[in-house]
Chain A
Amino acid sequence: MKQARKKEDQGKYQPLSYFQLMEVSLRELLVEKGVLSDEQVNAEVAAMRARTPERGARVVARAWVDAAFKERLLRNGTAACEELGLEIPALKLVAVENTPKVHNAIVCTLCSCYPRVLLGLPPDWYKSRNYRSRMVREPRAVLAEFGLRLPKEIQIRIHDSTADMRYIVLPMRPKGTEGWDEARLASIVTRDCMIGVAVPRAG
């Protein structure tokens, strides 16, 4: 048993893939030439991992309780986030609002553009060819696989994030959340709700 665990700890040797090798080479060159230090690289990776969808959920919860904020968010998502102390430099954030007649969802067919500073690292499925190719082609089938079946009267708007904008879906506040404070409201706003493959539920 002891022997087996030790072997497991050693992991499975895998040669670096093409892109891993490129990343290591570039990083080592940048450090070697003094452009960046190892500490800076590690700090940035740590900061990237520390960002979670709770940041985006705060924005949604504020928009639910403050109509004027919601209006500013829809007009200029970047400025609205900065009001909440969320620094999103260089990110042009477009918030798209779900209504009883419209449901929005986000995809990046060309690569995997994602509002990382608000939602953290994207889930693997968001980067998969399956999601990226089918979400623009048969969105209702893809949403159904996520458990979201929408009637035909509701317009589905798929946003292909192809250039300089990044998107966040502003879901509808569900029934049964009357009187909730912002923190409690934020707790039901999941990452998937802000990508548009789910909707928040009160229960």
Chain B
Amino acid sequence: MNPQFVTDYPAVEAKFHLGERVRVRQAAPLGHIRTPFYIRGHVGEIERLCGSFPNPEELAQMRDGLPAQPLYRVRFRQKDVWPDYRGSDKDVLEIEIFQHWLERA
């Protein structure tokens, strides 16, 4: 899968493919985390590979964040995230999530 944006950081290899089902890690480390709490533990599918970017958790500690982590947009069904969701079954949420927060579902 080609990234939408090409960056020239040394990067970890992207291991997920388009449409692959992934689970967001259920973890609660301290620090500057760009993975929202509400989505941890949920399963979605890879919508696109955005590119590879320095890990924000490392940047926040004044380190270089390298090697860069592949950043994906992951699509979740609202009904999966919120069982009592009252909109349409078709509604979705799309969230940018770094690879080290994802595992195969």
Contact = CB atoms under 8 A, between A and B. Distances in A.
Interface residues of B, number: 28
Given A110-B34, A158-B94, A164 B53 contact: yes
A100 to B, nearest CB: 13
A96 B54 CA distance: 24
B15 interface: no
A143 B59 CA distance: 35
Nearest to A93: B5
Interface residues of A, number: 27
Interface in B73-103: 73, 78, 82, 85-88, 90-98
B90 A155 contact: yes
B88 A155 contact: yes
Interface in B57-78: 71, 73, 78
Contact of A152 (B39, B51, B87, B94): B87
B92 A155 contact: yes
Contacts of B85: 138
Interface in A143-190: 152-165
Contact of B96 (A136, A137, A163): A163
B4 interface: yes
Contact of B91 (A156, A160, A161): A156
A65 interface: no
B94 A137 contact: no
Interface in A71-99: 75-76, 78, 92, 94
Interface of A: 75-76, 78, 92, 94, 109-110, 136-141, 152-165
